[in-house]
Amino acid sequence: MRFTMGLAMARKSVKPVLLSGGNPQIAKADGDAPVQAYIAAMPGWKRDVGRRLDRLIVTTVPAVRKTVKWNSPLYGLEGQGWFLGYHCFTRYVKVSFFRGTSLIPLPPGVSKQQDVRYLDIHEDARLDEHLLAEWVRQASALPGWSP
């Protein structure tokens, strides 16, 4: 009985905590594994958005590097910094283009930070994957953000 309870408790402690808005709390780490853990922990319909975003980014930029920092997946290129990240909020997934003001056409969301532009993906939204791939392609060709 004790073993069973201990195993159940261990399983519970492995499951990521969902922060405000359903954003998964994932430890900072580099590579695909922490990004996939983040995506797997995204709640409900947001998980499918995370899978689609990850697949689209990897297809568009095969040499992409991945990390999780500040409970958000980031995508970049070696020696260039990070060009994109996303984060779960209660009603949408926010995609951040760190040099978004250089993209054509501009992503629709304005930021308080001068160079950043956003795309908010809501549950019932039709995602224009062609346009999103074009933004990813353009963003990956620009100098990225380095914290």
User: What is the CATH number for 33?
Assistant: 3.90.1150.200
The yes-or-no verdict on residue 122 having pLDDT over 70 is yes
Query: What is the average pLDDT across 127-131?
Result: 96
Whether the pLDDT of residue 10 is over 60: the answer is no
Quote the CA–CA distance of 19 and 71 in Å, as a whole number.
9
Q: For residue 14, is pLDDT > 70?
A: no
**Residue 74, helix vs strand vs coil:** strand
* Of 16 and 117, the one with more pLDDT: 117
Query: Is 70 inside any structural domain?
Result: yes
Q: Is residue 35 part of a domain?
A: yes
Is the pLDDT at 147 greater than 60? The verdict is: yes
Tokens of 44: 């409900």
Q: Is residue 77 part of a domain?
A: yes
Is the pLDDT reported for residue 4 higher than 70?
no
Q: How many domains does the chain have?
A: 1
